[in-house]
Amino acid sequence: MKKISVSAPGKLMLFGEHAVVYNRPCLVTAVSARIKVSIERTSGDFKIEAPQVKDVRFVEETVGFFQKKFKIGNGLAIKTESDFSCEYGFGSSSAVTVGILEGLRELFNLSLSKKDLFDLGYKVTLAIQGLGSGFDIAAAAFGGVLYFLTAGKVIEKLSVKSLPLVVGYSGVKADTSTLVKRVGLGFKAQRSRIEKIFNEIAQIVEEAKKELIEKNWLRVGYLMSKNQALLQKLGVSTKKLDKMCQAAEKAGAFGAKLSGAGGGDCMIALISNEKKRAVERAIERAGGKVIKVQTCAEGVRDESNG
Ligand code: MEV
């Protein structure tokens, strides 16, 4: 029987986390660490083999949505494999969701655009988490570097081909929902203060968008550190993340910030090639683990012949 193999990339938030949940834009890059999904039709019941998927509900819910919408049966076997640990916060759930949607689209020969995949994937995210901007689903579907507005109101692919980043894992797994809820409580309690922070972050995102396209790394780095200071004010950074960012800057990075919800996961530092090793060493000395990934990776793609 026909077997489909696809892969979808993980992501790293570049600018605008948290504010993007509140109708502001963000910038995200897809990364070379991918999740592979293979799907085939079977005569038996629905079977999943997804050892590295943190929350198997993403697999079940995605298939459920697809079955309801396109009236497909239960005889499916789905297997996933991951290049990366779900601990890093690279968006393994969103990559799995998009991978399965694309795999099912191919298997059943449906004509669905990347935006259709995004819309379906975002519904899955909301059904399971009840919150989130959907930027990670967009990164997995479209790939590259995206300028993204909450819920996919704008998804714009930027002409950025490479990004000189070093990625450091803090060793602590963050829980995105808890952090988003915590920021939500702050928003309720001190609305005007938090709105002001979100507006400043949105301004940074707009400027960073232009500077990224122009490869003005010095300025992009400066904006990263400025974004980090605002994330500290939001209360989502940690001592460890701050220490790693400071160490990277001291070792010559153009700038550094946490990437994602905060509370752990990864930080990113923008570097020149000459400073790469020094920044990597500084991050390691600060207790981080350097994760080797390429940025600007391709979105979900067919792997059936590879
Ligand atoms: C988490 O990686 C990024 C947040 O902005 C949440 C979201 O956009 O869904 C905190």
Residue 306 has pLDDT above 80, yes or no: no
Return d(Cα 146, Cα 28) in angstroms, integer: 5
Cβ atoms of 79 and 37 within 8 Å: the answer is yes
Element (H, E) at 176: helix 176-189
Greatest alpha-carbon pair distance for the chain in Å reads 60
pLDDT in tens, 108-150: 999 999 999 999 999 999 999 999 999 999 999 999 999 999 9
Q: What is the pLDDT of residue 73?
A: 80
> 136 catalytic, yes or no?
yes
20 pocket-lining for ligand 1 (C-beta < 6 Å):
yes
pLDDT band with cut points at 50, 70 and 90 for residue 89: confident
Nearest alpha carbon, ligand 1 atom 6:
132
Cβ atoms of 270 and 255 within 8 Å: the answer is yes
Side-chain-facing half-sphere of 191: CA atoms under 13 Å: 1
3 beta partners: 40
pLDDT in tens, 258-301: 999 999 999 999 999 999 999 999 999 999 999 999 999 999 99
Residue 52 has pLDDT above 90, yes or no: no
What's the CA-to-centroid distance between 17 and ligand 1, angstroms?
5
Q: Which of 147, 120, 113 is nearest to 28 (CA)?
A: 147
92 pocket-lining for ligand 1 (C-beta < 6 Å):
no
Average pLDDT score, the chain: 95
Return d(Cα 273, Cα 275) in angstroms, integer: 5
Q: Which residue in 45, 83, 119, 136 is the catalytic one?
A: 136
Q: What is the pLDDT of residue 84?
A: 79
21 pocket-lining for ligand 1 (C-beta < 6 Å):
yes
Share of the chain above pLDDT 90, in %: 85
Residue 224 has pLDDT above 80, yes or no: yes
160 beta partners: none
